[in-house]
Amino acid sequence: MDVDKSLVEIISWLFEGDPLAEAAVETRARQLCLDTLGCMIAGLAKPEPQAMVAAMAALEPVSGTGAVTLPGATAPLSIGSAAYIAGLSACWDEACEGLPRAHGRPGLHAFAATFAIGMGGMGGMGDTGGTGRLG
């Protein structure tokens, strides 16, 4: 097997394909986002993540554009802090299991970051590639 050729084929498939061409793929992605959101909200209800919210808000006070108040949180956070807390909270009770062999949901870091950016008014879930709103 020619590894270089296989790698080129994989990369070409990733860049040239349209993963949302199949309705089932988009439906599954939406279900995973909703499941992760539920896990995050459940985790945010716990005292330890709430204490982290309070500590991070005290270290980095924010208001106005870019301030993110997570569901159930007592104080607004910066987008970066909100992303950190969103990721931490989604995994808090190990409810967000994802792929068992990967020990967690492999895309959780992307969910946490995009959720915080959207909550901070910097963009939305539909803002991808070339809209100019995020960069």
**Domain ranges within the chain, ordered by starting residue:** 21-119
Say what the pLDDT of residue 131 is. Answer: 41
Helices (H) and strands (E) counted in the chain, each on its own, are 5, 0
Place of tokens 């879930």: 125
Say what the pLDDT of residue 25 is. Answer: 79
Say what the pLDDT of residue 77 is. Answer: 92
Write down the mean pLDDT value for the chain.
74
The residue-averaged pLDDT of 111-117 equals: 68
Q: Coil, strand or helix: which one is 18?
A: coil
The residue-averaged pLDDT of 67-75 equals: 88
Please give the model's pTM, rounded to 2 decimal places. 0.62
Residue 104 has phi, psi (to 5 degrees) of 130, 175
CA distance 23 to 64: 38
Say what the pLDDT of residue 48 is. Answer: 87
The residue-averaged pLDDT of 108-135 equals: 56
Say what the pLDDT of residue 121 is. Answer: 64
State the helix-helix crossing angle for 23-44 and 108-119, rounded to 10 degrees.
Answer: 80
Find which of 14-23, 96-105, 120-129 is predicted with most confidence, using mean pLDDT.
14-23
Q: Per-residue confidence at 134, pLDDT binned at 50, 70, 90?
A: very low
Model confidence at 45: pLDDT above 90:
yes
Model confidence at 4: pLDDT above 80:
no
